[in-house]
Amino acid sequence: MGIGITHLGSGSRGNAAIISSEECNVLVDCGFSLKQTEKRLAIAGFEPESIDSIIVTHHHKDHSGSALRASKKWDSYLHCNLGTASKMGWNTVEECETFGSLERVQFSSKLSMLPIPVPHDDADNVALIASDGNGGRAAIVTDLGEAPHDLIKHLSGCNHISIEANYDHRRLLGGPYPDSLKRRISGRGGHLSNRQAGEILMEVLHDDLESIVLCHLSEKNNAPHMAESEVLMAIGDDFDGSIAISKQLGPEFSCWTGQLEPRSIVAA
Ligand SMILES: [Zn+2]
Ligand SMILES: [Zn+2]
């Protein structure tokens, strides 16, 4: 069956993605309002109660927003690391289960995730590598200034990679943000530019990489065609799979490991 990856939407105003495998659905981040999350789940064809677990990558509101409320309402487990739990004020006995860096979180016999620490502002952020235990692997990588060695190593074995392409460097420099914010975004603990996303993908490219989703695009400092063309320029003819973009509005499609092309979602 493989692993399904459905972005409900991605950007600075909210992030959430469903990772599915046989009989198990995990929501990676829950940064929209509860109402908005339920609306988007319905468009993607998921009952809220079918979300077994929610895993939060870091405490920023666009990733954590309604996670606790959703986990209580849907009776889903809530997972995060200790740094995120303490920043959110979540009770680690009653409200969430914490994981350590590089400590595999097992959701079912057919789905686990490996959290890999990444540098990002004041956050204890993690990238996640989902595995179906049968060789299928999918990554979700957002909110990082650069890719640490551990991450590169694990991305090299993934069939699907969702990675942020946050900004076009020239557009950021010439854009409306104050210099201090420009420095923060482009610094070691900020976000990945289109070029950085392309360089990382080029480094980890292998024959079994089937699909790429670019996500967390800045609405001010980027545009979908710029992100896609810069990444395609980097990986070029070496990549035979599909490339798609998850926008702030969604969901629009699902990717599955074992398949090259995403399946589009038609809103009812
Ligand atoms: Zn974010
Ligand atoms: Zn963040």
Domain ranges in the chain are 4-264
pLDDT, tens only, 140-191 = 999 999 999 999 999 999 999 999 999 999 999 999 999 999 999 999 999 9
| Predicted pLDDT of residue 1 | 79
Tell me the residues surrounding ligand 1 (ion) with CB < 5 Å: 62, 143
Q: Quote the pTM value.
A: 0.97
- Percent of all residues in the chain with a pLDDT value above 70, rounded to a whole number: 99
Report the relative pairing of strands 16-21 and 4-9 from DSSP bridges: antiparallel
For 40, residues 6+ apart whose C-beta sits below 8 A from its C-beta are 8, 9, 16, 32, 250, 251
| Predicted pLDDT of residue 268 | 55
DSSP 187: S
What is the distance between the alpha carbons of residues 131 and 80, in angstroms, rounded to a whole number?
18
For residue 238, report the distance from its CA to the centre of ligand 1, in Å: 30
What is the distance between the alpha carbons of residues 13 and 32, in angstroms, rounded to a whole number?
7
Q: Which of 27, 22, 130 is nearest to 70 (CA)?
A: 27
**Which ligand has the nearest atom to the CA of 126?**
2
Query: What order do you get walking across the sheet with 137-141 strand by strand?
Result: 105-108, 111-117, 126-131, 137-141, 160-164, 211-215, 242-245
**Which ligand has the nearest atom to the CA of 166?**
1
Tell me the residues surrounding ligand 2 (ion) with CB < 5 Å: 60, 143
Q: Phi-psi bin for 55: left (phi > 0), alpha (psi -120 to 50), beta?
A: beta
Fold assignment, 4-264 = Metallo-beta-lactamase; Chain A (3.60.15)
For 257, residues 6+ apart whose C-beta sits below 8 A from its C-beta are 2, 3, 132, 136, 137, 138, 159, 160, 210
